[in-house]
């Protein structure tokens, strides 16, 4: 999400404010669609294929990190 915020801040949307993507919608769609962008949403970072690949990588990283953070403590205790 931080990367999306920085990318949106550094992009100039002068005279095309209606095309500025919604970060919240992108985050929800990333989780619900498995990283695929809906056809009516413009990518925030790079091209459409790059953002889809990045979304899939970040989703897989989150799915790996959550159990890694949750399971060791009960086993240690």
For residue 50, the enclosing domain spans 2-76
Q: What is the pLDDT of residue 64?
A: 92
The pTM score is: 0.65
**Cα separations in angstroms, 44 against 6, 17, 57, 66, 74:** 10, 13, 16, 26, 39
21 Cβ contact list (under 8 Å, min separation 6): 8, 41, 42, 43, 44
**The total number of structural domains that make up the chain:** 1
Kindly report, residue by residue over 32-73, the tens digit of the pLDDT: 877 777 777 777 777 888 888 888 888 888 889 989 989 888
């Amino acid at each position: 999400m931080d990367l999306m915020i920085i990318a949106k801040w550094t992009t100039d949307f002068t005279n095309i404010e209606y095309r500025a993507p919604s970060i919240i919608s992108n985050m929800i769609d990333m989780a619900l669609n498995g990283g695929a962008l809906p056809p009516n949403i413009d990518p925030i970072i790079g091209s459409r294929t790059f953002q889809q690949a990045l979304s899939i990588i970040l989703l897989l990283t989150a799915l790996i990190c959550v159990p890694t953070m949750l399971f060791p403590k009960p086993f240690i205790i």
